[in-house]
Amino acid sequence: MQTMSDPYILEAGVPPVEVYRRLRTDAGLSDKAPEAAALGLAGTWFGVVLHHEGRPIGMGRIIGDGGTAFQVVDICVHPAHQGRGLGRRIMAALTGELERRAPATAYVSLIADGPARFLYEKFGFTDTAAHGSIGMYRTMRGS
């Protein structure tokens, strides 16, 4: 997934816990406790890590039950590398894997923060409210 003029390498997998936490906070996402991150990363259905000059600078994951429900999570790119279509590359890899392996009747969801919604719309995601559903969430204690 790299060309001679492209300094970015996108690889399947998940980063180690500390790299995961750094990628999230560098991109302005909330931090996760190391124990929670380890459990979550182990439950990844499919993930990708984006590297620049050997250093992880972005990632994305899909979690879910493998059959009926999936959620796209942890899409992030370090701010110094944003605006170069890298989020699109991450999403293309994730949605490509969903199209290859997820059952046709699977429900795929995500939470779009701010203008990221415009990226996700390019991959077929729409507002749940448009279909009579409202996205909801709950944080656990200390979150």
From the options 3.30.930.10, 3.40.630.30, 3.40.50.10440, 2.40.50.100, give the CATH code of 8-131: 3.40.630.30
- What is the pLDDT, as a whole number, of residue 130? 75
Conformation bin of residue 13: beta by default, left when phi > 0, alpha when psi is -120 to 50? left
* CB distance 2 to 8 below 8 Å: yes
Domain boundaries, given as residue ranges, for the chain:
8-131
- What is the pLDDT, as a whole number, of residue 134? 85
Percent with pLDDT over 70 in the chain: 96
Average of pLDDT values for 110-121? 89
